[in-house]
Chains A and B, each alone.
Chain A
């Protein structure tokens, strides 16, 4: 089991550019979560899916953020246009049923 796979590991982009973060969940996990982690705010839930369907996107900060899960094997988080305040580590996490989360290694995003 390769775990939750996120790409890229690091992303540096200029303000105004589009950024796409990718996540491949563990096979058989029916929940997928996108979190953002910063020193100031800790771990913040952005959005989560159950069986590929978005359940709660109330944590998505603005319309600049969007997430999709077209199938059980893939999810994306897109920021368009990006801003310096979006700089953070973005984690994808998955779980099966009521169990604990398995986090990916994260994407460290820097917007300059």
Chain B
């Protein structure tokens, strides 16, 4: 069945270092979304990418959607302790633009001050 895979599963960084998580889909996606879940919290929507090769920035966060629309990445520059949490990517089932999403297992980021 359709899968969304994320690597790495865990990442430990020193505060100030950069961080990247990668997301790969087994199918072409019409869009991809990213969420952040703080420890003990709930997932919070960060961004949606729609176009092939699209790059979007939110302050220190850079999101990229691959040319083939099957992969994506999230890069954080100069991590801070407030970046701690699990980052999930998610894509629509079978390339649909509405309805439900399939979530990756997430990358858990810890930041050492």
Q: How many A-B residue pairs lie within 8 Å, measured between CB atoms?
A: 45
Please, which residue of chain A has its CB at the minimum distance from the CB of B31? A98
User: Is B39 an interface position by the 8 A CB rule?
Assistant: no
Given contacts A42-B106, A43-B88, A99-B48, contact A104 B42 (CB under 8 A): yes
**Min distance, Cβ B87 to any Cβ of chain A, angstroms:** 13
**Min distance, Cβ A30 to any Cβ of chain B, angstroms:** 10
* B100→A33 contact, CB < 8 A: yes
Which of A48-56, A64-72, A80-88 sits within the interface?
A: A48-56
A-side interface mostly:
strand
**Min distance, Cβ B34 to any Cβ of chain A, angstroms:** 9
* B43→A43 contact, CB < 8 A: yes
User: Is B10 an interface position by the 8 A CB rule?
Assistant: no
User: Is A7 an interface position by the 8 A CB rule?
Assistant: no
Q: Which of A31, A93, A104 sits near B99, CB closer than 8 Å?
A: A31
* B105→A42 contact, CB < 8 A: yes
Please, which residue of chain B has its CB at the minimum distance from the CB of A48? B100
* A105→B45 contact, CB < 8 A: no
**Min distance, Cβ B108 to any Cβ of chain A, angstroms:** 10
**Min distance, Cβ B90 to any Cβ of chain A, angstroms:** 8
* B45→A100 contact, CB < 8 A: yes
* A91→B100 contact, CB < 8 A: no
Contacts of B48 on A, CB cut-off 8 Å?
Answer: 99-100
Q: Which of B33, B41, B99, B106 sits near A50, CB closer than 8 Å?
A: B99
* A98→B98 contact, CB < 8 A: yes
Contacts of A102 on B, CB cut-off 8 Å?
Answer: 45
Residue of B31, B100, B104 with most partner-chain A CB within 10 A: B100
Q: Which of B33, B42, B101, B106 sits near A91, CB closer than 8 Å?
A: B42
Q: Could you pull out 10 A-B pairs where Cβ atoms are within 8 angstroms?
A: A31-B99, A42-B104, A45-B102, A50-B99, A91-B42, A93-B43, A101-B101, A102-B45, A103-B44, A105-B42
User: Which A residues are closer than 8 A to B by beta carbons?
Assistant: 31, 33, 42-43, 45, 48, 50, 55-56, 91, 93, 97-106
